[in-house]
Amino acid sequence: MNDSKVIERIYGSILTISGNDEYSFNVLNVRWGFKSGDLYQKNMLLMMKNIRMLAKNTPILYGNGCYWMFDGKIYTPIREELIIEAFYMLVEHLEIIVAIRNKVFSDAYTKNIRFYNPMVQSRNLIAFENGVLDISPILRGNKPIFHEDFSPRFHVTYYHPYKYDESAKCTKWHNFLHEVLPDKNSRVILQMFLGLGLIDSSEVYLPYEGRDAARVELCLLLIGPGGNGKSVVYRTARGIYGSERISELNYEALTSGGDEGMRNRLMLRDKIFNWNSDEDCRAFGKKNSATFKKIVSGEPILERKIGGNVTSNDNLPYLVFHLNELPYPDDQSLGFIRRLQFISFDVTIPKERRNPHLAQDLITNYPGIFNWVVRGACELIRRKFVFPSSEGHKRQILLTQLKSNPTLAWVSAYDVRHESNARNENGAWLKTKDIIASIEAFCQDNYAEIPSKQKVGATLKSLGFIKQRKAEGSEYLVFGCNAERISRPFIIQNENLGEAYNEEKGTFIKNDD
């Protein structure tokens, strides 16, 4: 819609509104007298009351630093100067001489629109070519509600360029996923993570001890060389959610400090995902890991427009990165590693079988793929925002830990715990020399650098393991493991770490998902 049409549309709306009985503009098209006079002051007061009431009823919303007008399907951004021009046309028509081109009154009008007409966007509302879907009922275990009409009451600013069809299937998408991700748990993790984009961040956080505690504190890493389908997943996600809702900052730009970092992070505003399809594995996790952890945890971050003031953003997108190889972050803490959710794309499609147009071909599957995403969101809620484990994720976590902290990798590999998991579970005291010997063998078997005894002790202490000294040597109290278990070799690449997806009663995941 061009500027003149926007002005005429706003003018037509407020002209009709101003003619209602509750307005008294008609008594203001007279001489007001001197500014210091009683009549002027009385008319000024009445004019401001009418402007405030007019602003409240003007069909324009304000949010995220922008004015929005409903175009018959969704809300589109409009410039403030067009609203002011329409207001001036109204006062000219009403012949209120003192208000013509008077900035005092136009400022009051736009200011009251900002105050009283908030744009309240929700990821739960999704517009399609044929209507608007309210996804919020799934939070209560019910089916989504589809509205076959478009209405200003739905505060949506983007509509998906395909139709919603509750019965649509996505056979081609299923065939593709089953080939590149034969592990069902990996497919379910992808399905659930994409489902996150349908759920308001307020629903993914819950009050806990007087503050917000994140239910989902995960960054999704798609690991694997080229020719394995990662780019098809990326392009399909952009098609399903809309490219306008997905930013593409790499790790370095996302976490950099100073003004540059704040300007970069401004791009995250109102985005569902930050999805970088070409992350450098040598740069990921290097420097500024504290900023990365804040974003993943949904904690407010600072941003700034060029020449603008610093603002805070707490409605952050979920992070997805593609890496050809496993990253080796500088941050070796559990706090960093536990925020990584891996999906391994280990199947390389032969060149003769690759379809360079597959992402384009999948457009016809979008309605069915969207239903697949909805099932992922429903499963996520049913599982209380807990993701399943997968063989690829376990292996990549161990390899990442092995490179950064071999002792931590050993603890994870042998499921060694510092506390009991169940009532009356008995622990075992393992000799420090046996633990050191096991860690050395573990590192040798997996081609890792053997840590010093001091580093082993420091890691075990940081993990909470209790140590006691005896005449014959020191010991550690452990749970879930014993001396016989840690004497057995554990070769990460050879271990069977897979587990079948737990088809619990009530699951939303279908057999062909």
Domains held by the chain: number: 3
Among 98, 116, 134, the domain-final residue is: 116
Task: Band the pLDDT of 483: cuts 50, 70, 90.
Answer: very high
pLDDT of 202 higher than 80: no
Quote the crossing angle between the two packed helices 366-382 and 230-241, to the nearest 10°.
90
Q: What is the pLDDT of residue 379?
A: 93
Q: The tokens 């489902």 sit on which residue?
A: 195
Output the 3-class SS for 321-372: EEECCCCCCCCCCHHHHCCEEEEECCCCCCHHHCCCCHHHHHHHHHHHHHHH
Task: Band the pLDDT of 48: cuts 50, 70, 90.
Answer: very high
pLDDT of 422 higher than 60: yes
Do the domain assignments include residue 493?
A: no
Strand runs labelled E in 19-161: 60-63, 66-70, 75-78, 125-128, 131-134, 145-147
Average of per-residue pLDDT values in the chain? 90
Task: For residue 343, report the phi and psi dihedrals to the nearest 5 degrees.
Answer: -130, 120
Q: What is the pLDDT of residue 220?
A: 95
Q: What is the pLDDT of residue 364?
A: 95
Residue 113 near residue 80 (C-beta atoms within 8 A): no
- Amino acid at the residue 366: Y
On whether both 99 and 194 belong to a single domain, the answer is no
Do the domain assignments include residue 498?
A: no
Least reliable range by pLDDT among 96-100, 138-142, 206-210: 206-210
Q: What is the pLDDT of residue 478?
A: 94
Q: What is the pLDDT of residue 64?
A: 84
Among 74, 98, 116, the domain-final residue is: 116
Do the domain assignments include residue 428?
A: yes
Give the tens place of pLDDT for each residue, 203-247.
Answer: 765 544 444 444 688 999 999 887 789 999 999 999 999 999 999
On whether both 7 and 136 belong to a single domain, the answer is no
pLDDT of 89 higher than 60: yes
Q: What percent of the chain has pLDDT over 90?
A: 64
On whether both 298 and 364 belong to a single domain, the answer is yes
Q: What is the pLDDT of residue 205?
A: 59
Structure-model confidence comparison of residues 251 and 500, the more confident one: 251
Write the burial class of residue 154 (CB in 10 Å: 0-12 exposed, 13-18 middle, 19+ buried): buried
Do the domain assignments include residue 158?
A: yes
Q: What is the CATH number of the domain that holds 446?
A: 1.10.10
Do the domain assignments include residue 326?
A: yes
Do the domain assignments include residue 504?
A: no
Q: What is the pLDDT of residue 214?
A: 47
Average pLDDT for residues 62-67, to the nearest whole number? 92
Among 365, 390, 415, the domain-final residue is: 390
Output the 3-class SS for 59-70: CEEEECCEEEEE
* Cα separation, 93 vs 85, whole angstroms: 12
Average pLDDT for residues 329-343, to the nearest whole number? 78
Do the domain assignments include residue 492?
A: no
On whether both 143 and 276 belong to a single domain, the answer is yes
Please choose, from the candidates 174, 181, 264, 197, the residue with its C-alpha nearest in 3D space to the C-alpha of residue 509.
174
* Cα separation, 272 vs 257, whole angstroms: 23
Write the burial class of residue 35 (CB in 10 Å: 0-12 exposed, 13-18 middle, 19+ buried): exposed
Strand runs labelled E in 172-291: 205-208, 211-214, 219-223, 246-247, 273-276
Entry pTM: 0.83
- As given in the structure block, the two tokens for residue 162 are 């395909």
On whether both 112 and 139 belong to a single domain, the answer is no
On whether both 312 and 164 belong to a single domain, the answer is yes
pLDDT of 479 higher than 80: yes
On whether both 66 and 146 belong to a single domain, the answer is no
Average pLDDT for residues 413-421, to the nearest whole number? 90
Structure-model confidence comparison of residues 42 and 352, the more confident one: 42
The pairing of strands 340-344 and 219-223 is parallel
Q: What is the pLDDT of residue 209?
A: 42
On whether both 332 and 422 belong to a single domain, the answer is no
Task: Band the pLDDT of 503: cuts 50, 70, 90.
Answer: low
Task: Band the pLDDT of 270: cuts 50, 70, 90.
Answer: confident
Sign of CA dihedral 328, 334, 340, 343: positive
Query: Of all helices (H) and strands (E), which one includes residue 475?
Result: strand 473-478
Which residues fall within 8 angstroms of residue 169, CB to CB, at 6 or more apart? 368, 371
Q: What is the CATH number of the domain that holds 230?
A: 3.40.50.300
On whether both 380 and 449 belong to a single domain, the answer is no
Do the domain assignments include residue 500?
A: no
On whether both 218 and 313 belong to a single domain, the answer is yes
- Amino acid at the residue 267: M
* Cα separation, 343 vs 391, whole angstroms: 9
Domain interval for residue 39 = 3-116
On whether both 146 and 270 belong to a single domain, the answer is yes
On whether both 217 and 355 belong to a single domain, the answer is yes
Residue 401 near residue 337 (C-beta atoms within 8 A): yes
Q: What percent of the chain has pLDDT over 70?
A: 95
Structure-model confidence comparison of residues 307 and 380, the more confident one: 380
Average pLDDT for residues 296-325, to the nearest whole number? 88
Please choose, from the candidates 337, 250, 258, the residue with its C-alpha nearest in 3D space to the C-alpha of residue 293.
337
Rg (CA), the chain: 30
pLDDT of 426 higher than 80: yes
Give the tens place of pLDDT for each residue, 427-458.
Answer: 999 999 999 999 999 999 999 999 999 999 99
